[in-house]
Structure 1
Amino acid sequence: MTPDPELVVPTAIRDVILERARDGRPEEICGVFGGEYDPDGRSRVRSQYPADNVAETPRTRYRINPEAQLELFDRLEERGEEIVGFYHSHPRGPPRPSETDVAQATWPDRSYLIVSLEPREVGSWRWREDEDAGRFERERLVLE
C-alpha cells in the first residue's frame, strides 16, 4: 500500500513564505521548492527559491517567467537538490487550488503549497494526472 503523500517543510521556510506573502499583498507571490522528491510518499523541502510573479493579473494569478524558472532549476540542481514543487499565495482566497491553478498545473506528482492570508492558513496538494485529465490530491503538511 502506498503511503499518503506528505510534504515536509522547515518552519523557518514556511515563515519566510508567509512574510513574503504578507509583503507582496495584494499580489500573489510564487517560487520553487528544492530538496528531496518522492513522487508518492514523503517529499522534503530543503530550500525555497523566490520568483517574480509575471502574470498579467498578479492579484489573481501567478506565473513564473519560463527562463527564470529554468535558472532556478539549474541553481537547485547545482546544489544537488531535486524539484520538490512550487508555492504561491492566495492573498484573499482559501489555501486550496483554484480553477486556474488546476488549469495551469503541469508538474505531475509535485507539491503545490498554497498560502492563504485571509484566513492565514497553508495547504499542500499533489498534482496527479489521469488518462483523461489532472487533479489535485490533498497531501499532509508536516512542519519541522
Structure 2
Amino acid sequence: MIELSRAVYDDIVYHAYGGGEAEICGVLAGTYGDDGEPSVVTDTYRAENVAETPQIRYLIDPEEQFELIETIEDDGLDVVGFYHSHPTGPTHPSETDAARATWPDHSYVICALDGYPFVGSWRWRGDDDEFEQETVSVRSER
C-alpha cells in the first residue's frame, strides 16, 4: 500500500497535465514501507524526461537521478519510488516500464490522463518483470 498526501497527489496530476503530450517523471520521497507497512509519500522531486520519444517513454538522466536521491537523503527522507504519466494510456505499467524497472520493492506510480485523471501504483518485485498492484490512498492535510 502507498499513501500520498493530498499535495503530492495534486502535484503529480498537475505535473502530468503540464507535460502535455509528453510523459512526465519524478522521484517520490517520504517513509519507505517495508514488511507490510505502507509507504508514505510526503514529497515529489520532479525530473526532466530525457527519453528520445517522450510521448511514449520516460527516462530520468542517471546524473539527475543521483542528485535527486542525494537531495532526498539530505532532507532526511527515503526514496519511496518513482512516478510518471501516461498521457493517453492506462495506469498499469507498459512492457517497457517493466523492463526498465530497477528498484525492487519500490513503488511506481502512474498518472493516466486518458479521460479523468487517475493515479495507480505498482510495486516491482524484482523478478521476471513482475509488478504487483498496490492500493493508493490519499491523505487529507492535517
**Shared fold (TM-score, shorter chain, > 0.5):** yes
1:21 aligned counterpart, secondary structure: helix
Mark the CA change 1:40 to 1:115 in structure 2 (over 3 Å): closer, same or farther.
farther
Among 16, 20, 24, the alignment partner of 2:19 is: 24
2:18 aligned counterpart, secondary structure: helix
Please name the residue that 1:129 is paired with. 126
Please name the residue that 1:3 is paired with. none
**Aligned-partner residue type, residue 82 of structure 2:** F
Q: Structure 1 regions of 5+ residues with no counterpart?
A: 1-5
2:49 aligned counterpart, secondary structure: coil
Q: Structure 2 regions of 5+ residues with no counterpart?
A: none
CA RMSD of aligned residues (A): 0.9
Number of matched pairs: 137
- Cα deviation, 1:56-101, whole Å, max 9, x if unaligned, reads 0000000000000000000010011111000000000011101110
> Which structure 2 residues correspond to residues 1-144 of structure 1 after superposition, within 5 A?
6-41=1-36, 42-119=38-115, 120-130=117-127, 133-144=128-139
Percent identity of equivalent pairs: 51
CA distance in 1, matches of 2:107, 2:34: 9
TM superposition shift of 1:129? 2.0
TM superposition shift of 1:17? 1.1
TM superposition shift of 1:32? 0.1
TM superposition shift of 1:39? 3.3
1:25 aligned counterpart, secondary structure: coil
CA distance in 1, matches of 2:35, 2:88: 31
TM superposition shift of 1:23? 1.1
2:137 aligned counterpart, secondary structure: strand
1:57 aligned counterpart, secondary structure: coil
CA distance in 1, matches of 2:88, 2:114: 5
CA distance in 2, matches of 1:24, 1:140: 25
**Structure 1 residue ranges, 4+ long, deviating more than 6 angstroms after superposition:** none
For normalisation by structure 2, the TM-score amounts to 0.93
